[in-house]
Amino acid sequence: MAEDSPRGVSMASLDDSQREMVTGGGLSSRFSKLPLWLSHPSNIGAFYGLLVSLALLLPYIMTEEFWFALWLLHASLLIFATAFLGLFSRLVTAFTGRMPIAVNRKVLYPMPFIGFALFTLIHTDLLVNNTVTQYLAWGLLMIPGPLYIHLSWAPRWRLLCMIEDGNNPFKDMPAKEYLEQQEEDIASDDSDLIEVVESFESEEE
C-alpha cells in the first residue's frame, strides 16, 4: 500500500495509536504491506482455506484409497467457504463501518492445530467417527481464519482503502468527537472560572 495519498491523507499524517489500529501487529502488519487487491478479505480467506487444505494432504494420503479426488473436492469446498466468509465480512464491515477488534491469540491460534489433531485421529480410527466429532474437527479447522478476518482484518482493510482514497478514517469516530467535546467543555469551564475570578477581583477593588 502506498504511504502517501495524492489527496493529502497518508499513514504519516496519523498519530501512533491510529497507525497501530490501521496496520495492527504481527500478521495484520504483513497483510497491510500487500497491494489492496491482493489483501482483500476474500483473498485472505481463500489463502487460509488453501493452507488448511494443504495441511490435510497427509491424512488423506494415508487413510483414503482414492485420496486425490476426495481431497480436491474438500479443498475446493473449504477454499470457497473461507473466501465467501471473507467477502461476507467485507460487506458487513462496509455496512457497519466498525473498527478492528484485537483477537485473543492464545485462544485462536491453537484451534487449527487441535482441529487437525482431531481430524487425524478420526481418520486413523483412534477417535470415534461420528457427526459430532466430524463437525468439531472441521469447525476448529475453519473458524479461526474467518473469525480473524471478520474481527480484525476486514475492518483494517476498509481503513487502508479509505487512506488510499485520501480520506481520513478517523475524522468521524464517535470516540474522537467525544474527546473533542470534553476538551471544549473543559475550556468552557475554565473560561467561566476565569470570569468568576475576575468579577471577584473587580469587586474587591
pLDDT at 180 over 80: no
Helix residue ranges, H only, the chain: 16-23, 27-31, 41-55, 57-63, 67-96, 105-108, 110-123, 131-142, 144-148, 154-164, 174-204
Q: What integer pLDDT is reported at residue 198 of this predicted model? A: 52
pLDDT digits (tens, 9 = 90+) for 102-128: 888 888 889 999 999 998 888 887 888
Amino acid identity for residue 104 in this structure: N
| Pairwise CA distance, residues 118 & 138, whole Å | 9
pLDDT in tens, 77-111: 999 999 999 999 999 999 998 889 888 888 888 99
Q: Is the pLDDT assigned to residue 193 strictly greater than 50?
A: no
Q: pTM score, two decimals?
A: 0.77
Residues 6+ apart with CB under 8 A from 55: 112, 116
- Grid coordinates representing 12 are 504519516
Residues 154, 158, 159, 165, Cα dihedral to 10°: 160
The domain segmentation of the chain, as residue ranges, is 11-171, 173-205
Query: 3-state DSSP call for residue 147?
Result: helix
Which of 155, 174, 125 shows the shortest CA–CA distance to 23?
Answer: 155
